[in-house]
Each structure stands twice: as structure tokens, then as C-alpha cells.
């Protein structure tokens, strides 16, 4: 399964600069609103040191890491829900992503204009929230009108649907995002077809200056306090630093550069880790002489579901999974010795796959 994250934010907050640094695609970056007219898609590989360990042990012909798609979506302004700026394009594009990476400006620079006239991360966040909430309300109201007509005719399913839609409507009208509603599975099902914008999980990226990358600043403190009730994560990233890292090819040079700022890893790595955690994702591996490969699944997936990520036939005809832990692979070096030591587990359909498992699937179709 591929992970698709949409990078959003007001114009001139550093979205395209961050996107350029994160991906192998290049979006035009300029000091004026709407320089990103069409959504730019960049595919990046997910860094995972466990792949490097497996590569050394197995010596495969190729190594395939898992990937994330980053979509740089055109800037949003106040009134986008009514078609201002590039609002309609923005709102259509954001429906297609799994998670939202909301970039918020948390740096002062008089040379870079701000559409609202001054740096205020709380204001910036609320502008985008409000526009998305308004659009979600429109979607709710349209469906609610239909469901209410059916409910009046005695449709029991429609009555439950109306109750669920009303819950989300009340939250949105109160200025809350749809994801704040403690909804039951049935209530979520009632709005699933609407692809609500504010129901998508979000990570807030505080784009800071180089001096603030370690401890943040007054802007990041205000933002963190504002989103505390959401339980959302705020990741400090300096797009300027990430841009410089992106130009470096030597791993040692990158490490030395990061050390100068007191960092152990790039903002990209922290953002990827936060994205996986947000969406409850984990990684398992397949390892053979042809290839070593990482696969992304949901935490809690059972072996047949994990097999299905490789191919639907693997899930349909699942017989068993042979599971090796990385620590055992490191200790015994080869599959033969792992088997001899009794360290290869044979698991059935109820096995819950663990992060880092190395798996072989047996199936019959």
C-alpha cells in the first residue's frame, strides 16, 4: 500500500520549498502566492536502516524500500470554500490524500510576504480549518436533505444516517473538525462517501528558521498550545535546512551538517515517522536473493492481510507464514542456521504481523 500525504498551507509559508527538499520532483518556488498551480507529486523512499542490515546479510540483486507520495497542493486563502483564489482546485485535490501535512509559517522574514500581513500561526491554522469546515458543511447538508426525506417515509437506515449526519453538522458548526467527533463505526460509515476534508488525520509542520530548529520559538509555542486539545503532533522542520540537506549526496557530509545544528536526523525522517504513527502503519520485510523489500501495512493486520499487500492471490490462497525476527537474522546470518536453531516461526491466519517481521508466505491458488 502506498502512503499519500498532501502538503497544504497558506501561500508563502514554505510548502513548495519543503516539497522540493523532500521529494525528487521539483516544484517552482517563488515569493508570490499560487506559484504552485497544479498539484506536484513527488515520490520519496522511506529511510529504514533495517533494509541496509538485510542487504548486508542477504546480498540480494536489488533492494526496494517502501515509498511515500507527497502532493504539493496549491495555496489556500480565506474564501477558498466559496471559490476564492484556487479554492476549488485545492479542495478537490485534498480529497485524494490519506493524510494532511499542514505547513505553518513560524519564522520572521521581512523579505517574504505574508498574505495576512504578519506571522500568526494560530490565525493561519484557523483560516484553513474554517475553509475546510465550510466545505464539509456543504457536503453534510446536501446528504442530510436527502436522508431526511427518506427518514420521513419510514426508512430506518435513513433515520440512523440523519442522526449521524447531525452529529457531524453540529461539530462543524461549532468550529470543530470532523475528526474531533467521537464517532461509532456506523456513524463513520454514514459519512464515508462524503470524503470529508476535516476528517483526515493531520500533522502540523512548524516551518522555523535555522536558529529555532532545536527548541522552537514563540510562534511554535503558540501553535502547540493551540492544537493541544486535538492531540495532534507538531513537527519542527526548517525548510531552509532540508533544502541544503537535499543537495548533499554523501551520507557522512549530511551527518556532519546535521550535527552542526545539534540534530541526529533530518526533518524528513521525523516527518515520515510521524506520518506512519498518525496512520497506524508498520513495515514488514521479504528477503531473498532476488530482492529485499519493505512493505507497509496497518498495525494489527493479520498474516493473510499482509500477504495480500504483495498480491491478492497470496491472501486468497494463504496457507501459512514463516516469520523471522531481525535480531535472529543478525545472530545466525542465514535462513538455514535460523531454521536449525528453531528461530523460524510458522504462523497461521490469526498471526498479527509485528513491525520489522521478515516473512515468507506459503499459498495455494
Residues 6+ apart with CB under 8 A from 306: 284, 295, 297, 321, 353, 359
14 among annotated binding-site residues: yes
Taken as a whole, the chain contains a residue count of 365
Residues 6+ apart with CB under 8 A from 293: 63, 64, 65, 285, 286, 287
288 near 57, Cβ under 8 Å? no
292 near 63, Cβ under 8 Å? yes
12 among annotated binding-site residues: yes
User: To which residue does cell 456543504 refer?
Assistant: 138
User: To which residue does cell 536449525 refer?
Assistant: 340
Rounded alpha-carbon distances, angstroms, from residue 185 to 162, 188, 214: 15, 5, 40
End-to-end CA distance of the chain: 22
DSSP state for residue 118 in the 8-state scheme? S
**Residue 297 DSSP SS3:** strand
CA 248 to chain centre: 25
Q: Which helix (H) or strand (E) holds 323?
A: strand 318-324
- Residues 172 and 166: their CA atoms lie apart, in Å, by 10
15 among annotated binding-site residues: yes
Rounded alpha-carbon distances, angstroms, from residue 299 to 188, 271, 305: 20, 18, 11
- Indicate the Cα dihedral angle 247, 250, 253, 255, nearest 10°: 100
Query: Quick one: cell of 255?
Result: 551527518
17 among annotated binding-site residues: yes
217 among annotated binding-site residues: no
Rounded alpha-carbon distances, angstroms, from residue 188 to 143, 151, 198, 263: 14, 18, 13, 40
CA 318 to chain centre: 30
Other CB atoms closer than 10 Å to residue 84's CB: what's the count?
A: 13
DSSP state for residue 279 in the 8-state scheme? T
Residue positions in the annotated binding site for ATP? 12-17
Residue positions in the annotated binding site? 12-17
Amino acid at each position: 500500500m502506498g502512503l499519500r500525504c498532501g502538503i497544504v498551507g497558506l501561500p508563502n509559508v514554505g510548502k513548495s520549498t519543503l516539497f522540493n527538499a523532500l521529494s525528487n520532483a521539483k516544484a517552482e518556488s517563488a515569493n508570490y502566492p499560487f506559484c504552485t498551480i497544479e498539484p506536484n507529486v513527488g515520490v520519496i523512499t522511506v529511510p529504514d536502516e533495517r533494509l541496509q542490515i538485510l542487504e548486508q546479510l542477504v546480498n540480494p540483486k536489488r533492494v526496494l524500500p517502501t515509498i511515500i507520495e507527497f502532493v504539493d497542493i496549491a495555496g489556500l486563502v480565506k474564501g477558498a470554500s466559496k471559490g476564492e483564489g484556487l479554492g476549488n482546485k485545492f479542495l478537490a485535490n485534498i480529497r485524494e490524500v490519506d493524510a494532511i501535512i499542514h505547513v505553518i509559517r513560524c519564522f520572521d522574514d521581512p523579505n517574504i510576504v505574508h498574505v495576512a500581513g504578519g506571522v500568526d500561526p494560530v490565525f493561519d491554522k484557523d483560516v484553513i480549518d474554517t475553509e475546510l469546515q465550510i466545505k464539509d458543511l456543504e457536503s453534510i447538508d446536501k446528504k442530510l436533505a436527502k436522508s431526511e426525506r427518506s427518514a420521513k417515509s419510514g426508512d430506518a437506515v435513513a433515520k440512523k444516517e440523519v442522526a449521524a449526519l447531525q452529529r457531524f453538522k453540529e461539530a462543524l458548526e461549532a468550529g470543530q473538525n470532523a475528526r474531533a467527533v467521537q464517532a461509532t463505526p456506523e456513524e463513520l460509515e454514514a459519512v464515508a462517501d462524503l470524503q470529508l476534508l476535516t476528517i483526515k488525520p493531520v500533522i502540523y509542520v512548524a516551518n522555523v528558521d535555522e536558529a529555532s530548529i532545536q527548541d522552537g520559538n514563540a510562534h511554535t509555542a503558540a501553535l502547540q498550545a493551540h492544537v493541544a486539545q486535538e492531540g495532534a503532533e507538531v513537527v519542527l522542520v526548517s525548510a531552509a535546512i532540508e533544502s541544503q540537506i537535499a543537495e548533499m549526496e554523501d551520507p557522512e557530509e549530511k551527518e556532519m551538517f546535521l550535527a552542526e545544528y545539534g540534530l541526529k536526523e533530518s526533518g524528513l525522517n521525523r516527518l515520515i515517522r510521524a506520518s506512519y504513527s498518525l496512520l497506524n502503519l508498520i513495515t514488514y520485510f521479504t528477503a531473498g536473493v532476488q530482492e529485499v523489500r519493505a512493505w507497509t501495512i496497518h498495525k494489527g493486520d493479520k498474516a493473510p492481510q499482509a500477504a495480500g499487500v504483495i498480491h491478492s492471490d497470496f491472501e486468497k490462497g494463504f496457507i501459512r507464514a514463516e516469520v523471522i525476527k531481525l535480531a535472529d537474522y543478525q545472530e545466525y546470518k542465514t535462513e538455514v542456521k535460523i531454521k536449525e536453531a528453531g528461530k523460524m516461526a510458522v504462523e497461521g491466519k490469526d498471526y498479527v504481523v509485528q513491525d520489522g517481521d521478515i516473512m515468507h508466505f506459503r499459498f495455494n491458488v
